């Protein structure tokens, strides 16, 4: 389905629209608990739009671009705002920000070469899930909400997610090289290629 006005795309658009509000809540109001809830809710809808796209047979080319864009912008915003607000450890946030930038550059290079887009790998989805769990955990810890639970949880999920993120990132480098040589990226064979990272 190639339509733009689909239910999954509306969900993705709502996620994008919530990002400026997240920045306002985090930095202008300094409401860290609400910011944590927003990250958690927006991260949850990351699964919802993909599920609806498959369930309603509304997978679209526009959605394949919009969905990961919403993911990347939300994660980038949560990391950068968390660093500015002092709620995220730099040893976790900075490498994640670097990885986000590298993947964005790689995808741009691939598009410029006419190689299309990077299809999603399963481990990329697992890494995103862990990161979406780790980031709000650090926010909750900074707000004093069950720090003995969210603190260790954030470090465990964040560390594993970071390792997986870079692992998948190196695999994407191989995908880009394959595309540059005229082959299709290796991740195309993934059974989840129509979903997102």
User: 72-107: per-residue pLDDT in tens?
Assistant: 888 889 999 999 999 999 999 999 889 878 777 776
Q: Spell out the domains of the chain, with CATH numbers in brackets.
A: 7-189 (1.20.120.1760)
User: Mean pLDDT, to the nearest integer, of 53-70?
Assistant: 75
Cα(first)–Cα(last) distance of the chain, in Å?
Answer: 20
Provide the pLDDT for residue 9.
79
Residue 69 CA: distances (Å) to CA of 20, 48, 64, 85? 14, 15, 9, 24
> Rounded to two decimals, what is the model's pTM?
0.76
- With 0-12 / 13-18 / 19 or more C-beta atoms within 10 angstroms meaning exposed / middle / buried, residue 55 is exposed
Provide the pLDDT for residue 188.
39
CB 165 within 8 A of CB 99: yes
Dump pLDDT digits (tens) for 12-39: 888 889 999 999 999 999 999 999 999 8
């Amino acid at each position: 389905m190639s339509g733009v006005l689909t239910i999954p795309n509306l969900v993705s658009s709502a996620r994008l629209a919530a990002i400026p509000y997240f920045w306002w809540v985090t930095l202008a109001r300094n409401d860290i608990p609400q910011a944590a809830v927003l990250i958690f809710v927006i991260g949850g809808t990351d699964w919802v739009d993909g599920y609806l796209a498959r369930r309603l047979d509304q997978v679209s080319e526009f959605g394949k671009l919009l969905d990961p864009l919403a993911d990347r912008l939300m994660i980038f915003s949560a990391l950068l705002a968390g660093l500015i607000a002092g709620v995220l450890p730099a040893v976790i946030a900075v490498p994640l920000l670097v990885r986000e930038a590298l993947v964005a550059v790689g995808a741009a290079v691939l598009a410029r070469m006419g190689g299309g887009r990077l299809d999603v790998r399963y481990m990329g989805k697992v890494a995103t899930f862990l990161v979406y769990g780790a980031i709000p955990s650090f926010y909750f810890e900074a707000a004093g909400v069950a720090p003995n639970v969210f603190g260790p949880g954030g470090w465990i999920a964040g560390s594993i997610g970071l390792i997986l993120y870079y692992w998948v990132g190196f695999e994407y480098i191989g995908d880009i090289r394959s595309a540059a040589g005229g082959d299709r990226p290796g991740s195309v064979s993934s059974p989840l290629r129509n979903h997102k990272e």
